C-alpha cells in the first residue's frame, strides 16, 4: 500500500485507539470504583451494578449506530469519525468528575450512567465509521490487512488502559486507587480524545466515498429504507457478530475480573496476564488480516467458530484453577489466538456486504444490535451465573453463541474479491466476476 493509504489508516486507527481506551478503562478499573458509587455490600453485587451500567452503554450503541451511520453515509466518513471522538471526550470527562456515593448518594451513579450512555452513542458510531473508513481507504486486495488495524487499535487502547492500571497499582496504595486514583485514566482519555479530534479534522475522505457510483439516491443514503433493501445482509451482520462479540468481551474486558474474582489470582497478577496476552493478540491481527487477503475470509471465520465452540468450556474451566501467572497467561493467549480468526477480519467482511450509500449504516446498526444483545451483556451474564452458583453455565453460553455463528460462516459466500463500488449492482458486474456480489445466508 502507498503512503497515502497508510496515512489514512494511521489517522483512523489513532482515533479508534483513544475511543476504545476510554471504553475499556471503565471495565478495567471497575473493581476499584465499584464501591465509590454504590453502598457497602457483597463484592460480586457491586460488580454486577457496575457491569449493569456497562451493559446499558451497549444498549445505546444501536442508537449511535443509526445516528452516526446516517452521518457517515450522508456527510462522509470523516464527519462521523470527528463526531464520535467528541462524544467520547465528553463522556470520559463526566466519569472523571462524577461525585461518589458518600457525597451525592445515587447521584454519582446517575452521572456514571449518563456518561456510559454517551459512550454508547459514540462507540456505536465509531465501530462502523472506522470499519468503513479503513476498508475503503485500503489498496485493492489489501482490505483484510488494512481493516485488521481496527482491532489492533482497539486492543492497543485496552493495552494502554491495562498498562496504566499496572503502573498505578505499583505506584499508588490500594486505598488511594479506590479513593481517587481510578479517576486518572478518564482524565487521560478525555485529553487524548481532544488531541484525536484535531487529527481527524484534517483527515482525508476515502476515494470510494467521494467517487461513489452506487445506485443509492442521495435522499436515500444512510436511511433505514435503503438499509431494508439489504436486510439479508443486515441479518448476516447480526448473526456473524453474535459468537465473535461474546467471545471477544469474555476474553478481554471480563477476563481480568474472572481471574481475580473466580480464579483467586491477585489483582496485579490478573492485570498482568491480560496485558501480556493482549500484546501478542494485537500483533496477530495484521498477520491474520493479510492471510485472509490470500485465502479468503471464510476459512478464518470458520476456524474461529470451531475453536471457540470446542475449546471455550475446557479453557474457562482450566482458567478457574490457574494458580499462577504462566498457566493463566498460556490459556488466555490460546483463547485470544482462537478469536483472532474473527477479530482480524470482521470489519472488512461487514463493510464488503453493503453499497457505499448505506455502508456505514449497514455495518453500524446490525452490529450495534448484536453487541447490545450479546457483547454488552456478556460480563453481566457471567456474573449472574456466578451469583447463582452455576458459573460453568456461562462457559456453555459462550460456546453456544459461537456454534450459532459457525452455521452462518458455513453457509455464507466469500467476500474477499468483491468490488466495493459494485456491491449490490448485480446488473453491472465487474469484468471476469459472477453477478452475485453480495453474500447471503
Render pLDDT for 45-87 as a digit per residue (tens, 0 to 9). Answer: 566 666 677 667 777 889 998 999 999 998 888 889 889 888 9
Dihedral sign for Cα 373, 335, 345, 28, please: positive
Q: Return d(Cα 373, Cα 383) in angstroms, integer.
A: 16
Q: Return d(Cα 407, Cα 370) in angstroms, integer.
A: 16
Q: Is 352 helix (H, G, I), strand (E, B) or coil?
A: coil
Nearest Cα to 119, choosing from 86, 73, 88? 88
Q: Return d(Cα 111, Cα 100) in angstroms, integer.
A: 10
The owner of cell 451511520 is: 69
Nearest Cα to 197, choosing from 93, 346, 343, 59? 93
Higher-pLDDT residue of 309 and 378 is 309
Instruction: Please indicate, yes or no, whether the overall pTM of this predicted structure exceeds 0.75.
Output: yes
Q: Is 376 helix (H, G, I), strand (E, B) or coil?
A: coil
Q: Are 324 and 340 in contact (CB under 8 A)?
A: no
User: What would the pLDDT profile of 273-289 be if each residue is shown by its tens digit?
Assistant: 999 999 999 999 999 99
The segment with the largest mean pLDDT, out of 9-18, 73-82, 95-104, is: 73-82
Q: Are 315 and 331 in contact (CB under 8 A)?
A: yes
Nearest Cα to 254, choosing from 378, 339, 153? 378
Q: Is 175 helix (H, G, I), strand (E, B) or coil?
A: helix
Q: Is 416 helix (H, G, I), strand (E, B) or coil?
A: coil
- Mean pLDDT score across all residues of the chain: 86
Amino acid at each position: 500500500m502507498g503512503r497515502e493509504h497508510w496515512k489514512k489508516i494511521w489517522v483512523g486507527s489513532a482515533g479508534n485507539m483513544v475511543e476504545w481506551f476510554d471504553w475499556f478503562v471503565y471495565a478495567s478499573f471497575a473493581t476499584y470504583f465499584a464501591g465509590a458509587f454504590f453502598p457497602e455490600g457483597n463484592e460480586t453485587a457491586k460488580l454486577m451494578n457496575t457491569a449493569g451500567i456497562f451493559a446499558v452503554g451497549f444498549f445505546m450503541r444501536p442508537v449511535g449506530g443509526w445516528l452516526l451511520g446516517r452521518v457517515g453515509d450522508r456527510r462522509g466518513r470523516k464527519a462521523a469519525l470527528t463526531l464520535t471522538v467528541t462524544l467520547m471526550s465528553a463522556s470520559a470527562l463526566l466519569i472523571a468528575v462524577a461525585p461518589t456515593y458518600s457525597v451525592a448518594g445515587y447521584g454519582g451513579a446517575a452521572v456514571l450512567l449518563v456518561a456510559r450512555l454517551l459512550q454508547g452513542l459514540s462507540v456505536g458510531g465509531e465501530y462502523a465509521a472506522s470499519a468503513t473508513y479503513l476498508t475503503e481507504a485500503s489498496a485493492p486486495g489489501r482490505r483484510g490487512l488494512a481493516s485488521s488495524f481496527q482491532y489492533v487499535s482497539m486492543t492497543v487502547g485496552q493495552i494502554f488502559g491495562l498498562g496504566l492500571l499496572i503502573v498505578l497499582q505499583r505506584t499508588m496504595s490500594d486505598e488511594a486507587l479506590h479513593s481517587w486514583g481510578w479517576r486518572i485514566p478518564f482524565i487521560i482519555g478525555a485529553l487524548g480524545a481532544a488531541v484525536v479530534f484535531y487529527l481527524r479534522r484534517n483527515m482525508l475522505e476515502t476515494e470510494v466515498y467521494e467517487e461513489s457510483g452506487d445506485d443509492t439516491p442521495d435522499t436515500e443514503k444512510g436511511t433505514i429504507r435503503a438499509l431494508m433493501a439489504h436486510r439479508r445482509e443486515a441479518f448476516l451482520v447480526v448473526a456473524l457478530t453474535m459468537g465473535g462479540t461474546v467471545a471477544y468481551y469474555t476474553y478481554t474486558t471480563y477476563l481480568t475480573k474472572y481471574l481475580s474474582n473466580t480464579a483467586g489470582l491477585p489483582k496485579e497478577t490478573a492485570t498482568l496476564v491480560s496485558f501480556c496476552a493482549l500484546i501478542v493478540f494485537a500483533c496477530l491481527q495484521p498477520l491474520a488480516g493479510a492471510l485472509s487477503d490470500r485465502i479468503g475470509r471464510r476459512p478464518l471465520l470458520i476456524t474461529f467458530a470451531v475453536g471457540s465452540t470446542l475449546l471455550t468450556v475446557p479453557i474457562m474451566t482450566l482458567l478457574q484453577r490457574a494458580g499462577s501467572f504462566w498457566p493463566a497467561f498460556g490459556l488466555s493467549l490460546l483463547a485470544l489466538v482462537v478469536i483472532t480468526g474473527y477479530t482480524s477480519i470482521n470489519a472488512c467482511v461487514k463493510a464488503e456486504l453493503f453499497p457505499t450509500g448505506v455502508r456505514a449504516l449497514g455495518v453500524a446498526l446490525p452490529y450495534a444490535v448484536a453487541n447490545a444483545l450479546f457483547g454488552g451483556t456478556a460480563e453481566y451474564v457471567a456474573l449472574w451465573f456466578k451469583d447463582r452458583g452455576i458459573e460453568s453455565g456461562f462457559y456453555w453460553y459462550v460456546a453456544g453463541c459461537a456454534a450459532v455463528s459457525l452455521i452462518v460462516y458455513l453457509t455464507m459466500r466469500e467476500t474477499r474479491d468483491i468490488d466495493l463500488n459494485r456491491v449490490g449492482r448485480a446488473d453491472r458486474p465487474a469484468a471476469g466476476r459472477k453477478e452475485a456480489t453480495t453474500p447471503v445466508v
